Structure 1
């Protein structure tokens, strides 16, 4: 899991074309041959990282969707996503690319968002194609804030201290008052 999280971070930071197997191997303390033993190609490594991220997102979505749409589900989703983001910053970096790549002509097929990758919008009961929706803007704002703040919290080693502030900021972006 740590290996795939690190790989996801490197792919998010440098892009698929500019991330080498050696870069990932160096980042996780493996030899290139050792990494290739687990993931025979860069595509396989990228796909594994993307699938892990999608799997974690689906777990979060499944838990949050047990609640009816509304403020309680929004809070549950934000709290679950914040915990995921603080634990796996590489996966969140890669997932944030889905939002920034919406509607782009990205060359790698896994970077082009599809309905599966955008399922997180369903958690917040918003259609990502409704570009005139204030709710869509708020959801994108909350998800973007969550990504940036969780990455910053990891960078300054303040995950537990910042968690409640990240949740409050994201809920405020969604239009919910702080508790």
Structure 2
């Protein structure tokens, strides 16, 4: 039980520092700002991680672990609407639970000029079957869907409306990918 609590604390620390790195970039994020973000002194933060670089690497690794978990859960699904929906559901859940980690992972897409943001951790080619470098319509739609997810999950977290917003976030992302919405029992095709 103590190990689980410690893991939760570590993940919370890494999520918060990841948010700082995502917002300001590695070079412009001070150790004091990171400590303030997690509510610790610099010495207290350094007790958990020996340096800013170690914090950054640990946050990126936790993000990579989250992405691999999503990939493991969809690996058996063929590329297409059902897989996209499941990927979006899983990524939305991660984003609602760990917004800082997701923001750091998305920084590779939103701030490609920052060399510290480059990471294969988001696993976009594997998750969505898309090459972002190709600049295809599909690649643009994937970036748009993930951008919408990032903004909406952050807003849902700030509003304290994670559960209420979740289905709308997923629907918005699916719309962005160009997938039709399924009909509900109370809707009739028109």
TM-score (ref. length: structure 1): 0.90
SS of the residue 1:96 aligns to: helix
Greater C-alpha radius of gyration = 2
Aligned residue number for residue 162 of structure 1? 165
Q: Deviations over 1:56-103 (max 9, x none)?
A: 01111221222111111011000000000000010111112110233x
Pair 1:42–1:136, CA change in 2 (3 A): same
Match of 1:70 among 52, 59, 80: 80
Distance 1:42 1:64 in 2: 34
Structure 1 residue 123: deviation in Å?
A: 1.4
Deviating above 6 A after TM superposition, structure 1's stretches of 4 or more consecutive aligned residues are: none
Aligned residue number for residue 124 of structure 2? 120
SS of the residue 2:66 aligns to: helix
Aligned residue number for residue 40 of structure 2? 30
| Alpha-carbon RMSD | 1.4
SS of the residue 1:177 aligns to: coil
Distance 1:177 1:69 in 2: 16
| Contact in 2 for aligned 1:98/1:117 (Cα 8 Å) | no
What does residue range 79-90 of structure 1 map to in structure 2 within 5 Å? Answer: 79-90=89-100
Distance 2:65 2:91 in 1: 13
Structure 1 residue 48: deviation in Å?
A: 0.5
| Contact in 2 for aligned 1:9/1:90 (Cα 8 Å) | yes
Distance 1:91 1:79 in 2: 16
Distance 1:156 1:5 in 2: 18
TM-score (ref. length: structure 2): 0.85
Distance 1:83 1:76 in 2: 11
Match of 2:23 among 3, 6, 13: 13
Aligned residue number for residue 150 of structure 1? 153
Q: Is 2:134 the partner of 1:130?
A: yes
Distance 1:143 1:107 in 2: 20
| Contact in 1 for aligned 2:149/2:169 (Cα 8 Å) | yes
